[in-house]
Amino acid sequence: MGKENPAEKALNLIRGRLCDPTFVFRPLSGPPDSNYSKLKFIVSTSITEGCNNSILLLGPRGSGKAAVLDLVVGDLMEEYPDSVTLIRLNGLLHSEDNCAFKEIARQLCMEHHLLFSKMASFDENSQFIIAMLRECGLAHKTIIFVLDEFDMFAQASGKQRLLYSLLDAMQSVTSQAVVVGISSRLDADQLLEKRVRSRFSHRKILFLPPSREEIDSLLEHLLSLPADSSFPSGYVTQFNEKIKNITSDTRFKDMLKTFLNANSTVNSLLKFIFRAVSSMNLESGLLSLENFKTALSSMLRQPKLEAVRDCSILELYLLVCMRRLEVKEQSSYNFISVMKEYKTIHDSFQTSDFYAQNVCLRAFEHLREREVICYAENRGQSQAGEYRPMKLLISASELHQGMRSHACCPAILLKLLDH
C-alpha cells in the first residue's frame, strides 16, 4: 500500500460504504418494528413452520426495498443453510408467461444442479416447476420467489397466468414457498385480477422515507471513521469531531431541509453525501460545510437557467422579442417576425444594440443549438430556416430569473419583458 495519505484512505472507505447497500441499511434494521424485522419475521416463520405466505413491498424508488430484502435473505441463508432457494424474476424482463416459466425452470435447475434444456416447452416447464415445488415442500426446503416490478407482471398479459399459478401453488399443502413482490406503485394489488387478488394474502410493507432522527443516525453511521489501527488515531478523532460540528450546525440543517423538501428517499440522500464527500479537501483531510453546499447546488441544478445566463446580449434581445410576440397572442412566429419586433423595439427605444440580419441569424442558430429555442414542427424541412415557425423552450419565469442573474443584462430588456 505504501504511504497512502490517510485522507485518501478515509475518502475511499466512505465512498465504498455509500455504494454498499448492505452497510447503509444495516442500522435501519435494528428496531423491532422496522421493515426489516417485519419482513424477516414473515419469511422466517414460513421457513420454520412450513406455511406459505405472500407479501408485497411498496415504496418509492430508491427507498431500499430490494436492499432490505437482500439483507433479510442473506441473514436467513446464514441461519438456515441449505433450506432456502431463491428465485428472482423481474417484471421488465419476464412479464411474458413463457419467458417467466422458462426462467424459473432454469434457475431451479441451476440451484439443484440439473441439466436445463432450452427446448423444453411451456407445458414441460410448468410441470417441472410443480414437481419441484412438491419435492422441495416434502424436503422442507423453502423457495422464495422474488418478483421485482410486480406491477409489470400484473399489467403485461391479460390473463396474469404466472401470478395465478404461483399464488395458487401457495394455497396447496404440498408446497413450501414465499412470494415476495416489490413494486413502486401503491395500488399494485388493485391491478390484480379478482381471482389472483383473492389468493394473495394482502400483506403489505410500506417503505416510507426516513424520519429526522433516522437521517441523523444514518449520517453519523456513514461518515464516522472507525477507530481501528489503519488510521492514525488523532486523525480519526479530529475527523469525527468535525463531522459532529457540521451536523449540529444550523446552516447544515437548513441545507438538509431544503434538499429533503424536494426528494426524501434514502437513495437521493446517499447521492448527496457522495458528492459532498468527493469534493473533500485532501490536504486537510476533513470535511467542511462548503463541501455540502457545492453538493447541494450541483444536485439542484437548473440547466436552462444556466443557458440563459451564458447568452450574449443580442441573444437575450431575441429571446425577449420572442416572449413579447407570445404575449401578444401571436401563436406562431418565425425569424422574420422576430426581426420585425426587434426593429420595432429599436425604433421606439433607440437602443445601441442593433445588429444586421445575418448577425442575428447567427445568434438565432446559436440559441437553437443550445436548445433554448427550437423549431415548432418537424415538417417543412425544405424551407429556409428563417421562415420556419419557432418556439421557446423555456418558460417566462426562467427567462426572467436568468436575465436577472445575468452578468451584464441591460435594464431596458427587463423592462421590456415585464411590459
Partner 1 sequence: MRLVLHLDSISISISISTSLFFFSTMPTIAGPSSSPHKHIVAARSENTGVSEVNTPRKRKLRSDSAAEVASTAIVTESSFATPMKWKSPRRCAVSSPKALKKEDSKGKLESPVMSAVKDRFDCLDVKSKWNPRDDDQMRAVKEALHVSKAPSTVVCREDEQRRVLEFVKGCMEQKKAGSLYICGCPGTGKSLSMEKIRQQADDWAQQEGLPCLETVSVNCTSLTKTTDIFSKILGESETGKKVNGSSSPLQQLQVLFSQKQQSSSTKMMLIIADEMDYLITRDRGVLHELFMLTTLPFSRCILIGVANAIDLADRFLPKLKSLNCKPLVVTFRAYSMEQILRILQERLVELPYVAFQSKALELCARKVSAASGDMRKALSVCRSALEILETEVKGSTDQEPQSPVTEDQVVKMDHMVAALSKTFKSPVVDTIQSLPQHQQIIVCSAAKAFRGSKKDRSIAELNKLYTEICKSSMITPAGITEFTNMCTVLNDQGILKLSNARDDKLKRVSLRVDEADITFALKEIRFFRNCLL
Q: How far is the CB of 183 from partner 1 (least distance, A)?
A: 9
Q: Which of 1, 262, 356, 411 binds partner 1 (CB under 8 A)?
A: 262
Kindly write down the DSSP assignment for every residue of 245-285, as one continuous string: HHHH-HHHHHHHHHHHHH---HHHHHHHHHHHHHT--TTT-
CB of 93 to partner 1, least distance (A): 18
Query: Residue 276 and residue 116: Cα distance in Å, rounded?
Result: 48
Decide if 376 contacts 332 (C-beta within 8 A): yes
> Would you state the cell numbers that stand for residue 144, as one nine-digit string?
422464495
**Residue with Cβ nearer partner 1 (19 or 138):** 138
Cβ at position 5, least distance to partner 1 in Å: 37
CB of 216 to partner 1, least distance (A): 17
- The residue range among 11-19, 50-58, 220-228, 332-340 that interacts with partner 1, by the rule CB under 8 A, is 50-58
| Cβ at position 190, least distance to partner 1 in Å | 8
- Rule CB under 8 A: is residue 212 a binding residue for partner 1? no
389 contributes a contact to partner 1 by CB under 8 A: no
Q: Which residue of 17, 204, 221, 366 would you call a contact of partner 1, by CB under 8 A?
A: 204
Q: Choose the stretch contacting partner 1; rule: CB under 8 A; options: 20-28, 37-45, 70-78, 235-243.
A: 37-45
Q: Which three cell numbers stand for residue 301?
A: 441544478
Interface with partner 1 by CB under 8 A: which range of 14-22, 70-78, 178-186, 228-236? 178-186
Encoded one letter per residue, x for contact with partner 1 by CB under 8 A and - for no contact, window 278-307 reads ----------------------xxxxxx--
Q: What spatial distance separates the first Cα and last Cα of the chain, rounded to whole Å? A: 66
H-helix or E-strand containing 314?
helix 313-327
Residue among 154, 108, 98, 153 at smallest CA distance from 130 = 108
Cα–Cα distance between 259 and 272 in angstroms, integer? 9
Query: Which phi and psi (to 5°) does residue 116 adopt?
Result: -105, 130
φ, ψ for residue 115, nearest 5 deg = -85, 135
Site for partner 1 in 144-163 (CB under 8 A): 159, 161
Residues numbered 346 to 385 that lie near partner 1 (CB under 8 A) are none
* 187 binding partner 1? (CB under 8 A): yes
In angstroms, rounded to a whole number, what is the distance separating the alpha carbons of residues 231 and 235? 7
User: Hey, which residues does 55 pair with through a beta bridge?
Assistant: 180, 203
Q: Which three cell numbers stand for residue 7?
A: 485522507
Report the nearest approach of partner 1 to the CB of residue 119 (Å): 10
Q: What angle do CA 49, 151, 189 make, to 5 degrees?
A: 60
Regarding 115 and contact with partner 1 (CB under 8 A), the answer is yes
Residues 215-234 that bind partner 1 (CB under 8 A): none
Q: Judged by CB under 8 A, does residue 185 bind partner 1? A: yes
Please pick, from the candidates 19, 206, 327, 336, the single residue that binds partner 1 as defined by CB under 8 A: 206
